[in-house]
Amino acid sequence: MNSMCTIKSTFIYVVLILVGTNSLAGSSKFFYTGTKLYNMCRADTPIDEALCEGYILGVQDSIYSGHLSEHFNLCLSEGVEPDQLRLQLIRFIENNPNIMNFAAEGLVAKSLETSYACKN
């Protein structure tokens, strides 16, 4: 179990680094659509789960760090785990199949906002 957590953590960090590097590149091309991310998030392999969770955490960090904070306002509860965010994203995409071809970043941000919007 410990080695599985280590593998998962390692992949999450790799994805976070790649997402951060990509956001600095200034490219208008997106690499993940909702379909591609959905398939990765639903996969039965720990690697794909970790990649999915890392992508979600990267978007969440972008919102908190200010890159997306003008568009989304999140207040995650203490104790929310990455696997909860992954399962919530899967449900969000399944409930909104017409958005699967959109850029994954926006889908993740909207999914997070749907479940964790700050109460004003």
pLDDT at 9 exceeding the cut of 70: no
pLDDT at 4 exceeding the cut of 70: no
pLDDT at 8 exceeding the cut of 90: no
For 53-111, write each residue's pLDDT tens digit. Answer: 999 999 888 888 776 667 777 888 889 999 999 999 999 999 999 988 888 988 998 89
Kindly list the domain boundaries of the chain, sorted by start residue.
2-25+32-116
pLDDT at 49 exceeding the cut of 50: yes
23 pLDDT tier (thresholds 50, 70, 90): very low
Q: What are the φ/ψ torsions at residue 33 (nearest 5 degrees)?
A: -95, 170
- Given this model, what pLDDT does residue 11 score? 55
